[in-house]
Amino acid sequence: MTKAMAMPGVAVYILVWVGLVALSAVTQQDEWDIADATFYGDMSGNATMGGDCGYGDLFAQGYGLENTAVSGVLFNDYETCGACFEVRCFNDSLRCAPGSINVTVTSLCPPDPRLPGGGLCQPPRKHFDMSESMYVKIATSFHAGSIPIQFRRVSCVKTGGIKFQIKGNPWWILVLVYNVGGSGDVAALSIKGSGSGSESGIGASWTPMEREWGQNWQITKTPELVGQRLSFQVTTGNGKVVVSDNVAPADWQFGQIFEGAQFLY
Ligand SMILES: *[C@@H]1O[C@H](CO)[C@@H](O)[C@H](O)[C@H]1NC(C)=O
Ligand SMILES: *[C@@H]1O[C@H](CO)[C@@H](O)[C@H](O)[C@H]1NC(C)=O
Ligand SMILES: *[C@@H]1O[C@H](CO)[C@@H](O)[C@H](O)[C@H]1NC(C)=O
Protein backbone atom coordinates (compact mmCIF):
# COMPACT_ATOMS: atom_id res chain seq x y z
CA MET A 1 0.00 0.00 0.00
CA THR A 2 2.65 2.53 1.00
CA LYS A 3 4.79 1.40 -1.92
CA ALA A 4 1.96 1.83 -4.39
CA MET A 5 1.32 5.30 -2.99
CA ALA A 6 4.96 6.27 -3.32
CA MET A 7 5.37 5.25 -6.94
CA PRO A 8 3.39 8.02 -8.67
CA GLY A 9 5.18 10.61 -6.55
CA VAL A 10 8.54 9.30 -7.69
CA ALA A 11 7.42 9.18 -11.31
CA VAL A 12 6.18 12.79 -11.19
CA TYR A 13 9.40 13.88 -9.56
CA ILE A 14 11.49 12.22 -12.29
CA LEU A 15 9.33 13.71 -15.05
CA VAL A 16 9.64 17.22 -13.60
CA TRP A 17 13.36 16.75 -13.13
CA VAL A 18 13.90 15.55 -16.71
CA GLY A 19 11.74 18.42 -17.95
CA LEU A 20 13.81 21.00 -16.07
CA VAL A 21 17.09 19.50 -17.24
CA ALA A 22 15.91 19.50 -20.85
CA LEU A 23 14.71 23.09 -20.55
CA SER A 24 17.92 24.40 -19.00
CA ALA A 25 20.04 22.49 -21.53
CA VAL A 26 18.13 24.17 -24.36
CA THR A 27 18.22 27.65 -22.89
CA GLN A 28 21.99 27.40 -22.37
CA GLN A 29 22.64 26.88 -26.08
CA ASP A 30 22.98 30.00 -28.19
CA GLU A 31 22.60 30.33 -31.94
CA TRP A 32 25.61 29.62 -34.15
CA ASP A 33 27.72 32.67 -34.96
CA ILE A 34 30.60 32.99 -37.44
CA ALA A 35 34.31 33.56 -36.79
CA ASP A 36 37.74 32.27 -37.89
CA ALA A 37 40.17 29.99 -36.11
CA THR A 38 43.90 29.36 -35.92
CA PHE A 39 46.12 27.66 -33.35
CA TYR A 40 49.13 28.65 -31.29
CA GLY A 41 51.90 26.55 -29.75
CA ASP A 42 52.39 22.91 -30.64
CA MET A 43 50.64 19.59 -29.98
CA SER A 44 51.95 19.54 -26.39
CA GLY A 45 49.79 22.57 -25.61
CA ASN A 46 52.55 23.98 -23.38
CA ALA A 47 52.25 27.43 -24.92
CA THR A 48 48.56 27.53 -24.01
CA MET A 49 49.17 27.00 -20.27
CA GLY A 50 48.70 29.99 -17.97
CA GLY A 51 47.01 32.58 -20.16
CA ASP A 52 45.23 35.85 -19.56
CA CYS A 53 42.40 34.30 -17.55
CA GLY A 54 44.91 33.69 -14.78
CA TYR A 55 44.46 29.93 -14.52
CA GLY A 56 47.78 28.07 -14.47
CA ASP A 57 48.46 24.44 -15.23
CA LEU A 58 45.41 23.78 -17.35
CA PHE A 59 46.00 20.02 -17.12
CA ALA A 60 45.97 20.02 -13.31
CA GLN A 61 42.91 22.29 -13.37
CA GLY A 62 40.90 19.98 -15.63
CA TYR A 63 40.79 22.13 -18.78
CA GLY A 64 43.52 20.17 -20.53
CA LEU A 65 44.11 20.91 -24.20
CA GLU A 66 40.46 21.79 -24.78
CA ASN A 67 41.24 25.48 -24.49
CA THR A 68 41.28 28.58 -26.65
CA ALA A 69 42.23 32.22 -26.70
CA VAL A 70 39.61 34.54 -28.20
CA SER A 71 39.81 38.00 -29.71
CA GLY A 72 38.89 41.04 -27.63
CA VAL A 73 35.29 41.33 -28.83
CA LEU A 74 34.64 37.80 -27.55
CA PHE A 75 36.93 38.04 -24.49
CA ASN A 76 34.96 41.06 -23.33
CA ASP A 77 37.41 42.31 -20.70
CA TYR A 78 37.76 38.92 -18.93
CA GLU A 79 34.02 38.31 -18.71
CA THR A 80 34.24 35.28 -21.01
CA CYS A 81 37.03 33.53 -19.08
CA GLY A 82 35.90 29.97 -18.37
CA ALA A 83 33.00 30.01 -20.85
CA CYS A 84 32.63 26.99 -23.13
CA PHE A 85 32.06 27.11 -26.88
CA GLU A 86 31.22 24.44 -29.39
CA VAL A 87 33.18 25.10 -32.59
CA ARG A 88 32.96 23.56 -36.05
CA CYS A 89 34.63 24.38 -39.34
CA PHE A 90 32.23 25.32 -42.14
CA ASN A 91 31.93 26.56 -45.72
CA ASP A 92 35.28 25.18 -46.90
CA SER A 93 35.19 21.60 -48.15
CA LEU A 94 38.97 21.50 -48.68
CA ARG A 95 40.04 22.68 -45.25
CA CYS A 96 37.18 21.53 -43.00
CA ALA A 97 37.11 18.23 -41.14
CA PRO A 98 33.65 17.07 -40.03
CA GLY A 99 32.45 17.26 -36.44
CA SER A 100 32.77 19.78 -33.67
CA ILE A 101 34.90 20.43 -30.60
CA ASN A 102 34.21 22.09 -27.28
CA VAL A 103 36.77 24.51 -25.91
CA THR A 104 37.03 26.69 -22.80
CA VAL A 105 38.22 30.29 -23.01
CA THR A 106 41.50 30.56 -21.07
CA SER A 107 43.23 33.52 -22.73
CA LEU A 108 42.99 36.65 -24.86
CA CYS A 109 44.15 36.76 -28.46
CA PRO A 110 45.39 40.35 -28.71
CA PRO A 111 45.71 42.45 -31.86
CA ASP A 112 49.21 42.33 -33.38
CA PRO A 113 50.38 45.85 -34.32
CA ARG A 114 53.11 44.36 -36.56
CA LEU A 115 50.49 42.89 -38.90
CA PRO A 116 48.48 44.85 -41.46
CA GLY A 117 45.15 45.82 -39.93
CA GLY A 118 46.24 44.50 -36.54
CA GLY A 119 45.98 40.85 -37.56
CA LEU A 120 43.25 38.30 -37.03
CA CYS A 121 42.37 39.34 -33.48
CA GLN A 122 41.98 43.06 -34.15
CA PRO A 123 38.52 44.34 -33.12
CA PRO A 124 35.87 43.88 -34.37
CA ARG A 125 37.09 40.51 -35.64
CA LYS A 126 35.73 37.41 -33.95
CA HIS A 127 38.59 34.95 -33.74
CA PHE A 128 39.51 31.75 -31.89
CA ASP A 129 43.21 30.96 -31.43
CA MET A 130 43.13 27.48 -29.95
CA SER A 131 45.52 24.72 -28.93
CA GLU A 132 46.88 22.82 -31.94
CA SER A 133 45.40 19.51 -30.81
CA MET A 134 41.88 21.03 -30.90
CA TYR A 135 42.45 22.84 -34.20
CA VAL A 136 43.53 19.68 -36.04
CA LYS A 137 40.27 17.98 -35.04
CA ILE A 138 38.25 20.42 -37.14
CA ALA A 139 40.78 21.26 -39.90
CA THR A 140 42.00 18.76 -42.49
CA SER A 141 45.62 19.79 -41.88
CA PHE A 142 47.66 21.89 -39.50
CA HIS A 143 48.63 23.81 -42.67
CA ALA A 144 45.03 24.91 -43.23
CA GLY A 145 45.67 28.42 -41.88
CA SER A 146 42.85 30.61 -40.65
CA ILE A 147 39.72 28.52 -41.14
CA PRO A 148 36.10 29.73 -41.21
CA ILE A 149 34.17 28.44 -38.18
CA GLN A 150 30.77 28.49 -36.61
CA PHE A 151 30.64 28.72 -32.83
CA ARG A 152 28.05 28.80 -30.08
CA ARG A 153 28.10 29.06 -26.34
CA VAL A 154 27.38 25.75 -24.59
CA SER A 155 27.15 24.61 -20.98
CA CYS A 156 30.44 23.63 -19.39
CA VAL A 157 30.33 20.05 -18.15
CA LYS A 158 32.53 19.62 -15.07
CA THR A 159 33.42 16.81 -12.70
CA GLY A 160 33.18 17.70 -9.01
CA GLY A 161 32.66 21.09 -7.45
CA ILE A 162 33.92 24.60 -8.15
CA LYS A 163 37.58 24.94 -7.05
CA PHE A 164 38.82 27.84 -4.96
CA GLN A 165 42.57 28.30 -4.65
CA ILE A 166 43.48 30.79 -1.91
CA LYS A 167 46.62 32.77 -2.68
CA GLY A 168 48.23 36.04 -1.59
CA ASN A 169 48.80 37.02 2.04
CA PRO A 170 46.71 38.16 5.04
CA TRP A 171 46.48 41.72 3.68
CA TRP A 172 45.77 40.72 0.11
CA ILE A 173 43.69 37.58 -0.20
CA LEU A 174 43.47 36.37 -3.77
CA VAL A 175 41.14 33.55 -4.80
CA LEU A 176 41.41 31.75 -8.12
CA VAL A 177 38.05 30.27 -9.15
CA TYR A 178 38.06 27.41 -11.65
CA ASN A 179 36.24 24.23 -12.67
CA VAL A 180 33.00 26.22 -12.92
CA GLY A 181 30.18 24.23 -14.56
CA GLY A 182 27.20 25.55 -16.51
CA SER A 183 27.84 29.09 -17.73
CA GLY A 184 31.54 28.58 -16.83
CA ASP A 185 32.36 32.26 -16.40
CA VAL A 186 32.34 34.20 -13.12
CA ALA A 187 30.58 37.56 -13.05
CA ALA A 188 30.87 38.12 -9.30
CA LEU A 189 32.45 36.47 -6.28
CA SER A 190 31.67 37.18 -2.62
CA ILE A 191 33.43 35.91 0.47
CA LYS A 192 32.12 35.33 3.98
CA GLY A 193 33.98 34.24 7.08
CA SER A 194 32.49 32.32 9.98
CA GLY A 195 32.92 35.47 12.08
CA SER A 196 34.79 33.76 14.87
CA GLY A 197 37.29 36.02 16.63
CA SER A 198 36.43 39.03 14.46
CA GLU A 199 35.67 42.30 16.22
CA SER A 200 35.39 44.37 13.06
CA GLY A 201 32.34 42.64 11.65
CA ILE A 202 34.22 41.77 8.47
CA GLY A 203 33.85 38.14 7.99
CA ALA A 204 30.39 37.52 9.26
CA SER A 205 28.59 38.95 6.23
CA TRP A 206 29.03 38.59 2.46
CA THR A 207 31.66 40.95 1.04
CA PRO A 208 32.07 41.31 -2.72
CA MET A 209 35.55 40.56 -4.06
CA GLU A 210 37.13 42.43 -6.96
CA ARG A 211 38.38 40.88 -10.19
CA GLU A 212 42.12 41.30 -9.90
CA TRP A 213 43.21 39.39 -12.99
CA GLY A 214 41.21 36.91 -15.03
CA GLN A 215 39.52 34.53 -12.60
CA ASN A 216 41.67 35.72 -9.69
CA TRP A 217 39.52 37.72 -7.27
CA GLN A 218 40.90 39.85 -4.46
CA ILE A 219 39.93 41.33 -1.12
CA THR A 220 42.39 43.59 0.69
CA LYS A 221 42.99 44.71 4.26
CA THR A 222 40.97 41.90 5.82
CA PRO A 223 43.50 39.88 7.85
CA GLU A 224 40.57 38.98 10.15
CA LEU A 225 39.59 36.38 7.58
CA VAL A 226 42.71 34.34 8.38
CA GLY A 227 41.64 31.75 10.93
CA GLN A 228 37.97 31.85 9.96
CA ARG A 229 36.06 29.24 8.00
CA LEU A 230 35.41 30.68 4.54
CA SER A 231 32.33 30.53 2.32
CA PHE A 232 32.09 31.71 -1.28
CA GLN A 233 29.21 32.85 -3.44
CA VAL A 234 29.77 32.55 -7.18
CA THR A 235 27.53 34.36 -9.68
CA THR A 236 27.89 33.42 -13.32
CA GLY A 237 27.26 35.63 -16.33
CA ASN A 238 23.74 34.23 -16.74
CA GLY A 239 22.84 35.43 -13.23
CA LYS A 240 22.84 32.02 -11.55
CA VAL A 241 24.24 31.86 -8.02
CA VAL A 242 25.83 29.00 -6.11
CA VAL A 243 26.93 29.25 -2.48
CA SER A 244 29.70 27.02 -1.14
CA ASP A 245 29.33 27.15 2.65
CA ASN A 246 32.38 26.75 4.89
CA VAL A 247 34.41 25.41 2.01
CA ALA A 248 37.71 26.27 3.74
CA PRO A 249 38.19 25.14 7.35
CA ALA A 250 39.42 27.61 9.99
CA ASP A 251 43.02 26.43 9.60
CA TRP A 252 43.17 27.07 5.83
CA GLN A 253 46.59 28.01 4.45
CA PHE A 254 47.63 30.21 1.54
CA GLY A 255 48.20 28.07 -1.54
CA GLN A 256 45.55 25.51 -0.67
CA ILE A 257 42.73 24.53 -3.01
CA PHE A 258 39.20 23.84 -1.78
CA GLU A 259 36.27 22.24 -3.58
CA GLY A 260 32.81 23.75 -3.23
CA ALA A 261 29.35 23.26 -4.69
CA GLN A 262 28.66 23.20 -8.43
CA PHE A 263 26.25 24.65 -11.00
CA LEU A 264 24.24 21.86 -12.55
CA TYR A 265 23.62 23.36 -16.00
C1 LIG B 1 55.79 20.41 -22.35
O2 LIG B 1 55.93 20.55 -20.94
C3 LIG B 1 56.27 19.33 -20.30
C4 LIG B 1 56.23 19.58 -18.79
O5 LIG B 1 56.89 20.76 -18.47
C6 LIG B 1 57.63 18.85 -20.79
O7 LIG B 1 57.95 17.61 -20.18
C8 LIG B 1 57.57 18.66 -22.30
O9 LIG B 1 58.86 18.34 -22.79
C10 LIG B 1 57.09 19.94 -22.98
N11 LIG B 1 56.91 19.66 -24.41
C12 LIG B 1 57.33 20.48 -25.36
C13 LIG B 1 57.07 20.03 -26.76
O14 LIG B 1 57.86 21.55 -25.12
C1 LIG C 1 31.48 30.85 -47.97
O2 LIG C 1 32.64 30.92 -48.76
C3 LIG C 1 32.49 31.72 -49.92
C4 LIG C 1 33.77 31.56 -50.76
O5 LIG C 1 34.90 31.87 -49.99
C6 LIG C 1 32.25 33.16 -49.52
O7 LIG C 1 32.07 33.97 -50.66
C8 LIG C 1 30.99 33.21 -48.69
O9 LIG C 1 30.78 34.51 -48.19
C10 LIG C 1 31.10 32.24 -47.50
N11 LIG C 1 29.83 32.15 -46.80
C12 LIG C 1 29.69 32.50 -45.53
C13 LIG C 1 28.34 32.32 -44.95
O14 LIG C 1 30.64 32.90 -44.85
C1 LIG D 1 29.84 19.97 -26.78
O2 LIG D 1 28.89 20.42 -25.83
C3 LIG D 1 27.56 20.24 -26.23
C4 LIG D 1 26.67 20.86 -25.19
O5 LIG D 1 27.01 20.42 -23.90
C6 LIG D 1 27.29 18.75 -26.40
O7 LIG D 1 25.97 18.56 -26.88
C8 LIG D 1 28.27 18.16 -27.41
O9 LIG D 1 28.12 16.77 -27.47
C10 LIG D 1 29.69 18.48 -27.01
N11 LIG D 1 30.59 18.06 -28.08
C12 LIG D 1 31.71 17.41 -27.85
C13 LIG D 1 32.54 17.10 -29.04
O14 LIG D 1 32.05 17.06 -26.72
> Span 163-259: which CATH code?
2.60.40.760
**pLDDT-based confidence at 262, cuts 50/70/90?**
very high
- The pTM assigned to this predicted structure is 0.87
33 in ligand 2 pocket by Cβ < 6 Å? Answer: no
The CATH 2.40.40.10 domain(s) of the chain lie at 29-154
* Four-residue CA torsion sign, 108, 175, 206, 242: positive
91 in ligand 2 pocket by Cβ < 6 Å? Answer: yes
| Residue 2 pLDDT exceeds 50 | no
The CATH 2.60.40.760 domain(s) of the chain lie at 163-259
24 in ligand 3 pocket by Cβ < 6 Å? Answer: no
pLDDT digit string (tens) for 29-77?
679 999 999 999 999 999 999 899 999 999 999 999 999 999 999 999 9
Round to whole Å and give the CA distance between 107 and 50: 8
Q: Average per-residue pLDDT in the chain?
A: 89
Separation of 92 CA from ligand 2 center, angstroms? 8
> Span 29-154: which CATH code?
2.40.40.10
Separation of 108 CA from ligand 1 center, angstroms? 22
- Residue 105's nearest CA partner among 185, 26, 182, 38 is 185
